[in-house]
Amino acid sequence: MTIGLPVARARIRAVTSSSSEWEALAALTDRLDELRGRLDMAEANNQIAAIYALEEAIAETEAERERLFSRLQDRLADETAA
């Protein structure tokens, strides 16, 4: 089955219309990388208080990233089904 050009453009526009959410997802991923690097340094220097604070920040950021990722997944599934 071939999708007509106007329909294909509409689908592309619908998927890309939430580019700010994709950018937010990338930013959260970058933040996790940064936090994990800081955690590695804190563990290497045996900085217990920093380790606990970083582990908490990582858990919160992971949860936020997962929520955003789930919303994006749901939106893509809905747009693909439409």
Average pLDDT, the chain: 84
Q: For residue range 38-75, what is the model confidence (pLDDT) as tens digits? A: 999 999 999 999 999 999 999 999 999 999 999 998 88
Residue 16 has pLDDT above 60, yes or no: no
For the chain, the structural domain boundaries read 20-81
Do 24 and 65 meet the contact criterion of CB atoms below 8 Å apart?
A: no
CA distance 23 to 1: 33
- Residue 15 has which token pair? 């998927």
d(CA 52, CA 60): 12
Vertex 53 angle, CA 50 and 58, to 5°: 120
